[in-house]
């Protein structure tokens, strides 16, 4: 089983490097940007191309597996039986379009509902973060050690912007007041990585989609960190979730404040 995961690991890394070359080389003038539901919900021809390329490679090598992709080129999955891949071709599309930095390509592999391999690739910085079940977490092949278990008052916190802009989340803002300060990147994947590295003690975000949270769960598990919904229940990969990724101390404090 481990051999199979390591073979898959080599294949995934190769695909990520090949495909991301094109994201970097593509002339920004050729970018076609479309609005999905709202002016801040965008998709580009590059999001679609990356997802199609990844799905084509997965299907070629792993024909019995099922794939969930943000842009809709995958399968409809209503239970997590067998091997399921979750793909977010560009996490942080708004940043990709407006900043040309702070975005990532993300892949997660689940076996019988259990996370076994996760990849978060910071494309502009060429940093590949991986988590493999029972092996650990790396950045460009260098091991990442578990971060120190700090409390809210000893660290920085990241959230998504809805927590600050939508009134229904105003109670959650109590958490932000207890921390040393707030940071917003605009890519769930890169914010997850900040928790894994210990740069922030927690990432709190609302209404994330399965592909936004799927890789992060294994990063947290492998480092002894927490990944839950706001109500402390496990994250549900078949639905949208309000999530907390955090070191245990900060997680316990956050649960006490919001529940």
Short-list 188, 174, 178, CA closest to 151: 178
Min dist CB 187 to ligand IPD, Å, is 5
CA distance 239 to 228: 13
Contacts of 180 by beta carbon, 8 Å cutoff, 6+ apart: 153, 154, 155, 156, 157
Does 51 help bind Ca ion (rule: CB under 5 A)?
no
**Hey, which residues does 198 pair with through a beta bridge?**
none
Place of tokens 């040393």: 180
With CB under 5 to 8 Å by kind, the binding choice for 192 among ligand IPD, Ca ion, none is: none
Q: Quick one: which segment of 16-24, 108-116, 190-198, 209-217 binds Ca ion (CB under 5 A)?
A: 209-217
The answer on whether 212 is annotated among ligand-binding residues is: yes
**Hey, which residues does 183 pair with through a beta bridge?**
158
**Hey, which residues does 182 pair with through a beta bridge?**
157
Chain residues in the site for ligand IPD (CB under 6 A): 70, 88, 91-93, 160, 186-188, 205, 208, 212
The answer on whether 167 is annotated among ligand-binding residues is: no
With CB under 5 to 8 Å by kind, the binding choice for 208 among Ca ion, ligand IPD, none is: ligand IPD
- DSSP assignment of 17-84 equals HHHHHHHHHS-GGG--EEESSSTT-EEEHHHHHHHHHHHHHHHHH-TT-EEEETTS-S---SS--SEE
With CB under 5 to 8 Å by kind, the binding choice for 74 among Ca ion, ligand IPD, none is: none
The answer on whether 242 is annotated among ligand-binding residues is: no
Min dist CB 145 to Ca ion, Å, is 27
Does 91 help bind Ca ion (rule: CB under 5 A)?
yes
Q: Kindly report the three-state secondary structure assignment for every residue of 142-204.
A: EECCCCCCCCHHHCEEEECCHHHHCHHHHHHHHHHHHCCEEECCCCHHHHHHHHHHCCCCEEE
State the sign of the Cα–Cα–Cα–Cα dihedral 149, 155, 158, 164: positive
Phi/psi at 46 (5° precision):
-70, -40
Does 212 help bind Ca ion (rule: CB under 5 A)?
yes
Min dist CB 21 to Ca ion, Å, is 19
Nearer to ligand IPD, 35 or 148 (CB): 35
Min dist CB 104 to ligand IPD, Å, is 9
Nearer to ligand IPD, 51 or 111 (CB): 51
Min dist CB 209 to ligand IPD, Å, is 6
Does 70 help bind Ca ion (rule: CB under 5 A)?
yes
Does 191 help bind Ca ion (rule: CB under 5 A)?
no
- State both tokens at 239: 């639905």
Min dist CB 57 to ligand IPD, Å, is 20
Residues that constitute the known binding site: 70, 88, 90-91, 212
Residues that bind Ca ion (CB under 5 A): 70, 88, 90-91, 212
Residues that constitute the known binding site for Mg(2+): 70, 88, 90-91, 212
């Amino acid at each position: 089983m481990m051999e199979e995961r390591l073979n898959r690991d080599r294949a995934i890394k190769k695909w990520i490097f090949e495909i991301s070359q094109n994201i970097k080389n593509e002339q920004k003038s050729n970018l076609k940007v479309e609005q999905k539901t709202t002016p801040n919900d965008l998709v580009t021809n590059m999001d679609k191309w990356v997802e199609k390329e990844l799905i084509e490679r997965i299907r070629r090598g792993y024909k019995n597996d099922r794939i969930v992709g943000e842009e809709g080129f995958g399968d409809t999955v209503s239970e997590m039986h067998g091997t399921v891949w979750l793909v977010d071709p560009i996490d942080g599309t708004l940043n990709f379009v407006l900043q040309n930095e702070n975005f990532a390509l993300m892949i997660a592999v689940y076996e019988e509902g259990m996370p076994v391999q996760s990849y978060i690739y910071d494309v502009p910085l060429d940093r590949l973060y991986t988590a493999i079940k029972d092996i650990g977490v790396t950045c460009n092949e260098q091991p990442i050690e578990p971060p120190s278990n700090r409390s809210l008052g000893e660290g920085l916190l990241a959230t998504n912007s809805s927590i600050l802009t939508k009134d229904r989340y105003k109670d959650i803002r109590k958490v932000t007041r207890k921390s040393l300060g707030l940071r917003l990147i605009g890519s769930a994947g890169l914010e997850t990585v900040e928790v894994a590295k210990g740069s922030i003690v927690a990432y709190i975000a609302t209404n994330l989609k399965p592909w936004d949270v799927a890789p992060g769960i294994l990063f947290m598990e492998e480092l002894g960190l927490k990944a839950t919904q706001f109500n402390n229940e496990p994250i549900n990969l078949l639905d949208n979730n309000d999530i907390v990724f955090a070191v245990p101390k900060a997680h316990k404090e956050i649960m006490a404040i919001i529940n």
